[in-house]
Amino acid sequence: MGRQLTIDEELDFLRAAIKIEAPSWKEKEVVALLDTIFEGTPARISIDDVGNFIATSGSGNPIILLSSHMDTIDQPLPFKEDGDWITGRGAVDCRPSLLAMALATRRMITKGHPGTIIFSGIVAEEVSTAGIEHFLNDSLKPSCAIFGEPTALKICIAYKGRAWFEISVLAKPGHVAAAWIHVNGIDVMHELKEKIAYNLAELIKHKKLSPFYTPRAILTTMETDNIPNMLPRKVRADLDIRFPPTIPKETIGSIVEIARKEIEAKHRVRDDTLSIETRTMSLINGVRVSTKSRLCKDLTAAIEKVTKQKSILVKKTGTTFMNHIAEYHDIPIVTFGPGDPALEHGDAERISKSKFLQAVLILENFLENRLRDL
pLDDT of res. 372:
77
pLDDT of res. 142:
93
pLDDT of res. 373:
64
Residues in contact with 8: Cβ distance below 8 Å, sequence separation at least 6, in sequence order: none
List Cβ<8 Å contacts ≥24 apart for 16-20.
17/90, 17/95, 17/98, 17/99, 18/79, 18/86, 18/88, 18/89, 18/90, 18/91, 18/95, 18/351, 19/79, 19/88, 20/90
Domains of the chain: 7-159+286-372 (3.40.630.10), 161-284 (3.30.70.360)
Residues lower than pLDDT 50 in the chain: none
Kindly write down the DSSP assignment for every residue of 179-218, as one continuous string. Answer: GGGS--HHHHHHHHHHHHHHHHHHHTTT----GGGS-EEE
Cβ neighbourhood burial of 281 (10 Å; 0-12, 13-18, 19+)? middle
161, 323 contact by CB (below 8 A)? yes
| Model confidence, pTM | 0.88
pLDDT of res. 374:
53
Give the C-alpha separation, 243 to 352, whole Å. Answer: 32
pLDDT of res. 79:
97
DSSP 3-state of 138 = helix
pLDDT of res. 93:
95
